[in-house]
Structure 1
Amino acid sequence: MKDYHVNIFYSDEDDGYIADIPDLKACSAFGETPNEALTEVLKAKESWLASAEAHGKPIPLPEYCPVI
């Protein structure tokens, strides 16, 4: 089963890690470590999907982003 691609990067401005899911508009989270950012963005993903479903909004399918 495909799942959503997650980006994790360090932000000097925020002095921590940002994780985002490009397929889910504005779905991102912050953490002091990469693992914390990942944990938080997975919680955000569940909330994003539940909200979209509750409001009858379209839910995009996960896209596969190969590493080149």
Structure 2
Amino acid sequence: MAMVKDSSLVSVLGVTDITQLGKVTAAGNFRYFETYNVVALIYLLMTVTLSLALRRLERRLRQDDPA
């Protein structure tokens, strides 16, 4: 259970870091639309990749369960 709590905390911190980096980059080059699109794409790729990996892991663990 602690692992789930820790992973959600890490994801929130990761999103905060990505958003802050996007804000700094956009302020430096005045390309807010492009910068935040890249930030959104990075976040989408992270969530989809982790979601697919967890789905695969759950499926594998379900097959190994004898019950």
Normalized against structure 1, the TM-score is what? Answer: 0.37
Structure with the larger helix share: 2
Structure with the larger strand share: 1
Q: Which has the higher contact order (CA 8 A, sep 6+)?
A: 1
Normalized against structure 2, the TM-score is what? Answer: 0.38
